């Protein structure tokens, strides 16, 4: 290169550097703010909450089976000017948890051709009764089974919501730290470009002073160009990472875009969580049965299968229902003896009995319910092992990343020392531009490797919390 070409290259590099070096600090979007926003506003998070609302609605519906019930009815016949009969009954039935049903009713019947069985006093008849299942349905019936299964389904829906939230927040955390790493890489490349530019400036001055050959300016200029290309690539990576991050940002079901000057939290910053990962990981492993949403879902399935089995077992019992109704239809008595006689002798009592001979229907349903329960238990055992192994692997990965981070941090420091030493040797005429560029390339590579490890470490921390089932509680 002649002197004119070198000077032109000098000004071209400085002009492009002025553009490439733009990097305002801008606003800061912290990791905690971002994760809280995703948890509260993302459509998938809202959809997960609807699962719980739906289950709670079904639970409320199941509880309705135990609501007191008003009833009433009239049956009347008139023909040829005569009232054959008028039969009416109004009352209140009150079901209870133990299968016992209470009843309070009022009967009023009249008519020329009224069945004698339906005769009541002139002012009507008050009835207070109770019905008790002694055999089948004593310990479990359809209403109780429906309510118990709805309660288990509510627990399952809450666990499913937690599982979906954990997975969503883990994906969101990965996108955030990818954005943070992209910004860190851009800063590394811009710093390297500034150093390369300063070196090129010094080499040009040395060449103009006759201390260095022209080929050194060419080699230094190529290094500047290579670093400029890396800065452009790094800027593109930031744009792509930012766009990926924006897929997790919503407000009122409308996607949001970040401001151009928005910046992420630095990879080296400590992330505050409600639970310390390194100290809590082993305790989470020990308590995984109670913490992990998948295992909670499996427990709910087992509960439902157990309820089904208890209900089917009732079919093996004979049906034996007892009913008693106290009747009251008189207001006045001549003496206390008549009152006592009335209280003791006015009632209706009934016994209903039914029992299939072979009970094949009941035995078949019990066998199917037993198989369903065994399948749920086997699924629980398999899922328990799977979750434990995944959490164990995540904990070991986090431990290994801690060690790698410490080693790589020291390596970056050593590469910086080597570059400084090489620059001193170059100033003393004992090194070359090639060696300095080589040292700088190794330093940049080490710094890039460090940011990669920092990103993986941050993601590994949230992964441990996700696999423990507690990530959603942190934000």
CA–centroid distance for 360 within its chain: 44
Please tell me the pTM assigned to this model: 0.81
Q: How many domains does the chain have?
A: 2
pLDDT tens digits, residue range 85-115?
A: 999 999 999 998 888 899 999 999 998 888 8
Q: Are strands 82-95 and 101-110 parallel, antiparallel or unpaired?
A: antiparallel
CB 166 within 8 Å of CB 356: no
Shared domain for 283 and 414, answered yes or no, is yes
Shared domain for 328 and 441, answered yes or no, is no
Shared domain for 228 and 189, answered yes or no, is yes
User: What gap in Å lies between CA 212 and CA 305, rounded to an integer?
Assistant: 85
pLDDT at 1: 46
Give the CATH number for residue 46.
Answer: 1.20.1600.10
Shared domain for 246 and 150, answered yes or no, is yes
* DSSP-assigned beta bridge partners for residue 322: 132, 351
Shared domain for 181 and 148, answered yes or no, is yes
pLDDT at 16: 43
Q: At what angle do helices 43-63 and 31-41 cross, to 10 degrees?
A: 50
Shared domain for 149 and 20, answered yes or no, is yes
CA–centroid distance for 314 within its chain: 37
Share of the chain above pLDDT 70, in %: 89
* Residue 6 in this model has a pLDDT that exceeds 70: no
* Residue 7 in this model has a pLDDT that exceeds 60: no
Shared domain for 293 and 433, answered yes or no, is yes
- Choose the most confident range, by mean pLDDT, from 25-39, 136-150, 441-455: 441-455
Shared domain for 169 and 269, answered yes or no, is yes
* Residue 356 in this model has a pLDDT that exceeds 70: yes
pLDDT tens digits, residue range 110-145?
A: 988 888 888 888 888 899 999 999 888 888 888 889
CA–centroid distance for 394 within its chain: 19
Shared domain for 371 and 327, answered yes or no, is no
pLDDT at 272: 65
Shared domain for 355 and 368, answered yes or no, is no
Range of the domain at 345: 69-136+319-359
Phi, psi (rounded to 5 degrees) for 157: -65, -40
pLDDT tens digits, residue range 413-442?
A: 999 999 899 888 888 888 888 888 888 899
Strand, helix or coil for residue 51: helix
Q: Are strands 254-255 and 250-251 parallel, antiparallel or unpaired?
A: antiparallel
Shared domain for 401 and 275, answered yes or no, is yes
Shared domain for 180 and 105, answered yes or no, is no
Tell me the C-alpha to C-alpha distance, in Å, between residue 118 and each of 75, 76, 364, 377, 391.
12, 13, 43, 56, 72
């Amino acid at each position: 290169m002649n002197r004119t070409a070198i000077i032109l290259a000098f000004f071209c590099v400085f002009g492009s550097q002025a553009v490439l070096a733009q990097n305002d600090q801008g606003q800061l979007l912290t990791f905690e703010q971002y994760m809280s926003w995703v948890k509260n506003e993302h459509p998938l998070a809202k959809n997960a909450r609807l699962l719980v609302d739906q289950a709670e609605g079904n639970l409320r519906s199941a509880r309705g089976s135990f609501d007191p019930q008003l009833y009433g009815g009239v049956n009347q016949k008139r023909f040829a000017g005569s009232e054959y009969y008028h039969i009416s009954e109004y009352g209140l039935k009150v079901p209870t948890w133990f299968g016992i049903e209470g009843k309070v009713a009022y009967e009023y019947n009249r008519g020329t051709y009224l069945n004698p069985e339906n005769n009541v006093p002139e002012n009507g008849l008050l009835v207070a009764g109770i019905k008790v299942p002694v055999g089948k349905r004593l310990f479990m019936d359809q209403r109780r089974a429906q309510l118990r299964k709805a309660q288990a389904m509510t627990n399952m829906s809450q666990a499913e919501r937690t599982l979906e939230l954990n997975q969503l927040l883990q994906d969101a955390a990965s996108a955030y730290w990818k954005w943070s790493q992209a910004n860190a890489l851009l800063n590394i490349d811009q710093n390297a470009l500034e150093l390369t530019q300063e070196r090129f400036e010094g080499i040009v001055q040395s060449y103009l002073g006759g201390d260095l050959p022209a080929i050194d300016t060419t080699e230094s200029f190529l290094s500047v160009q290579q670093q400029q290309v890396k800065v452009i690539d790094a800027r593109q990576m930031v744009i792509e990472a930012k766009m990926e991050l924006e897929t997790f940002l919503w407000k009122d079901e409308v996607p949001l875009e970040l401001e151009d000057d928005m910046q992420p939290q630095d990879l080296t910053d400590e992330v505050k969580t409600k639970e310390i990962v390194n100290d809590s990981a082993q305790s989470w492993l020990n308590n995984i049965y109670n913490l992990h949403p998948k295992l909670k879902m499996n427990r709910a399935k087992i509960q439902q299968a157990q309820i089904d089995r208890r209900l089917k077992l009732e079919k093996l019992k004979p049906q034996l229902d007892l009913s008693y109704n106290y009747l009251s239809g008189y207001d006045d008595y001549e003496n206390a003896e008549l009152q006592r006689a009335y209280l003791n002798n006015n009632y209706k009592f009934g016994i209903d009995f039914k029992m299939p001979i072979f009970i094949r229907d009941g035995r078949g349903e019990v066998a199917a319910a037993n198989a369903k329960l065994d399948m749920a238990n086997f699924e629980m055992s398999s899922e328990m092992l799977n979750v434990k192994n995944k959490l164990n692997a995540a904990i070991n990965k986090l431990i290994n990343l801690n060690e790698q981070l410490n080693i790589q941090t020291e390596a970056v420091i050593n590469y910086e020392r080597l570059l400084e030493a090489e620059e001193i040797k170059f100033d003393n005429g004992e090194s070359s531009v090639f060696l300095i560029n080589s040292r700088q390339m190794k330093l940049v590579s080490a710094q890039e490797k460090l940011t990669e490890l920092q990103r993986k470490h941050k993601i590994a921390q949230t992964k441990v919390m996700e696999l423990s089932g507690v990530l959603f509680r942190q934000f």
